[in-house]
Amino acid sequence: MNRWIALWQLQARALVRDTGVLITFFGGLMLYALVYPLPYLHQVAGAQPVLLIDQDNSGTSRELVRALQASPGIQFVATNTSLSDAQQAVLAGQSKGLVMIPAGFETRLRRGGSATVVAAADGHYFLSYGTIAEQVARASLSLGGQVQLARRMMAGADPASSRQGGVTLNMVPASNLKMGYLDYILPGLFVLILHQIMLICVGVTVIRVQRRPGSWQRMPVAAGLSVMASLLIPPFVLASLLYLGPLLAGYEVALQGSLFSLLSLLLPFWLATFLLGVVLGSLFRHRDSYAQLLVLISMPLLFTAGFVWPVESMPTVWTLLWGIVPSQAMMQGMIQLTKLGGEDVLALQWTLWGQVLAWGLLAVLLWRRRQEKVPSDSALPEAS
């Protein structure tokens, strides 16, 4: 026990002097908590710049224009441009879309026929495209409803019975009620940030410890790993509680699900991530190379987590990551618990505990191998 405490004290002193780890932990956690959510603070896309071509110039076309102007997603930035100029402006990205009301729009409606509104939006920006499409469809539907009502009344129908036989599609979100971008991305993203920073901190510490001979070689593997775990896991327990608690609440990301279920996932997540960090750190010689690996895999991990892109449309090989990398199961669990209100996370818990076992065995093997491989020379100074 005394040897364990001595090693702990030695490693603790080395850790607080390790500016690389400290900068990554404090700087990374603080900066990423601000930098990633910042672009999405407004949650939804607001008024998109749209060009209007009103070739009809009638009362009905102006009514449609007023309905479009009143919608939150469209702002007409120019009117009466030619169709080809407007098209060119959208293609060049100077405007996000165009709405054209063709000549004869009102006449067709008055004659009892149907009229078409032409809308086009920039397909390079899905959020803008979706916003413009939705607003034009709504305004047109509203105008269409008025036309139908007017026609029925002119045919002598009672206004009270004009809803006869109508079908209303009550289409509402069951989660993320405001359809906000922060609510959508932040629970998963915060888990990924914690995962990556924990992997970097654990891995670079393991590289620092293992590249020099010292008392870590003379200790049993379990003792060495437990010293590292006791030093490196607690800061991330605190960081997780901060990130997934007050910080998410600070960004007004509404949480559901029980704290107990969340903790039942977080516990194996911390252990599995720590052990994966030990395994990866044992395979690298340079701390900067290792940190670079984690920078490069961040994007694939985010896009294969299942909430940006559906698992059903992903090649099977990517879904294997779900069984290997702790962040993937944890991101899904976090989304289920915090946003969807689901409590059935048993499969995810088993996945994470399985990873604890698998990465744990591999960590023990590699730690032992490094103990034997690094020349034991007590004359050399201790790692610092």
Partner 1 sequence: MIPWLRRDPWQGFILLLAPLLVVGGLYTIFASRTPVELPVAWWDQDHSALSRQLGRQLQASPAIRLHSVTSLAEGKAMLANGTAYALIQVPVGASETLFRREPLVLDLRYNGQYLLLARRLSAPLQQALASGLSQQATLSLNLAGVPAAAQPAQLAPVQVQLTALNNQNLDYAAFLVPPLALAVWQILVLLSVLNFYQRPPPGVCPRRALPLLLAWQWGWAGIGLWLLSPLLMLPIGTPLWPLWFGLLPVMGAVTTAALLLRRSGREAEQLVSVGAALLTPAMTYMGVTMPEGDMPMAAQWWGQVIPSTHYLPLLQSYRGVGEANWLALWPLMMLLPLLVWLWRRSA
Within 161-190, which residues bind partner 1 (CB under 8 A)?
Answer: 163-177, 179, 181, 183-185
Beta strands in 287-328 (DSSP E): none
**Of 252 and 343, CB closest to partner 1:** 343
Burial 48-75 (b: 16+ CB within 10 A, else e): bbbbbbbebebebbeebbebbeebebbe
Question: Minimum Å distance from CB 58 to partner 1?
Answer: 13
- State which of positions 12-41 bind partner 1 (CB under 8 A): 19-20, 23-24, 27-28, 31-32, 35-36, 38-41
In angstroms, give the least distance from the CB of 302 to partner 1. Answer: 9
**CA dist., res. 208 & res. 188, Å (int):** 30
3-state secondary structure 261-293: HHHHHHHHHHHHHHHHHHHHHHHCCCHHHHHHH
Provide the pairing of β-strand 48-54 with 97-101. parallel
Q: Pick the closer one to partner 1 by CB: 325 or 335.
A: 335
Chain residues 309-348 in contact with partner 1, contact rule CB under 8 A: 309-310, 312-315, 317-318, 332, 335-336, 339-344
Tell me the Cα Rg of the chain: 29
The residue (of 3 and 17) whose beta carbon lies closer to partner 1 is 17
Residues from 132 through 161 that contact partner 1 (CB under 8 A): 133, 136-137, 140-141, 143-144, 147-148, 151
Query: Which residues ranging from 214 to 233 are in contact with partner 1 (CB under 8 A)?
Result: none
Site for partner 1 in 68-107 (CB under 8 A): 87-88, 90-93, 96
Q: How many residues at the interface with partner 1, by CB under 8 A?
A: 114
Pick from 117, 209, 232, 366 the residue near partner 1 by CB under 8 A: 117
Q: Which of 56, 146, 133 is nearest to 98 (CA)?
A: 133
Q: Are 233 and 202 in contact (CB under 8 A)?
A: no
**Could you give the 3-state DSSP secondary structure of residue 203?**
helix
